[in-house]
Amino acid sequence: MTISMLDARTALLVVEGLSSSTVNVIWGFFNLAVGYLLVCHVGDVDLRDFDNAIVFGLGVLLFGLVTARLFGRFHGGNSPVQGRVVI
């Protein structure tokens, strides 16, 4: 994992590279908790309503595809080797 200095333009600490499995679990739990709070307690969303559930599902799918492309560069997931099958 590489940590660069503070980015002066955006005032954000830029972190790139692979993280440990423990960090991934903590980060995933944090994302789940924040997502739950935003969907179920902040907004007026009823996941039992079909329209709300479809929009929520499409948002999750879009977010997953974008993050897969962003994180795929660390493991070659954006351009897999042709003819290679991983099970």
Note down the domain range covering 52: 45-78
Distance CA 60, CA 66 (A): 10
Same domain, 4 and 38: yes
Residue 55 falls within a domain, yes or no? yes
pLDDT at residue 87 in the model: 57
How far is Cα 53 from Cα 46, in angstroms, rounded to an integer? 8
**What is the phi/psi pair of residue 7, to 5°?**
-80, 115
**pTM exceeds cut of 0.75:** no
Q: What is the mean pLDDT of the chain?
A: 76
| Overall domain count for the chain | 2
Question: In this structure, are 12 and 23 located in the same domain?
Answer: yes
pLDDT value, residue 62 = 93
